[in-house]
Amino acid sequence: MPTNLPLAGIGKGTIYEYFGGKEEIFGLAFQHFFHDVHHKITQTLQRTEDPVEKLKLIIDVSLHEFLETTPELSGIMMDFWAEGVRNKNEKILATMDIKHIYQEYRKVLASVIREGREKGVFRRMDVISLAAVLIAAFDGIFLQWIMEPGIIDLRKVSNILLDSFLNGIIKR
């Protein structure tokens, strides 16, 4: 099979008439990917007023929809991000805008945790730090799943994560 088949019936040169390079293509795909996940999360949160249920839904969307529905893209995006970090490629990192993605994700999680605190469901804690801890757990699970997809049971791991996290913040 020839290795230089045109993508979608168009030549490589045509693609670069619209994009500045592979970094821009991957960066825009990455942004689109995370925009979709963020949109799914915000839509999902409208289903309930219960902050505990909202955290469950965020974890479900973040881990299951995000990883299980697009496993190939997840791996490609992680490789692209790692390439940017490893080589300190500012072009890649700027295109992906990871900083903004983390800020938005922390904002959503902090809002849910703050809501739970205001409703008397969660203990008083620093909501931004709690959101960062939860994101770090997602990132760790995400990385392990990419490295060994057959070993990590996302449903089991997300249930353990949620149970452990909630046990730490629910008022007794």
- pLDDT by residue, tens only, the chain of 172 residues: 445 544 567 777 777 788 777 777 777 777 777 888 888 899 999 999 999 999 989 888 887 666 666 666 667 777 777 777 787 777 777 777 778 888 999 999 999 999 999 999 999 999 999 999 999 998 888 788 877 877 888 778 888 988 998 888 888 7
As beta bridge partners, residue 10 has 7
- pTM exceeding 0.95: no
CATH code, residues 22-169: 1.10.357.10
- What is the DSSP secondary-structure string of 82-116? HHHHHTT-HHHHHHHTHHHHHHHHHHHHHHHHHHH
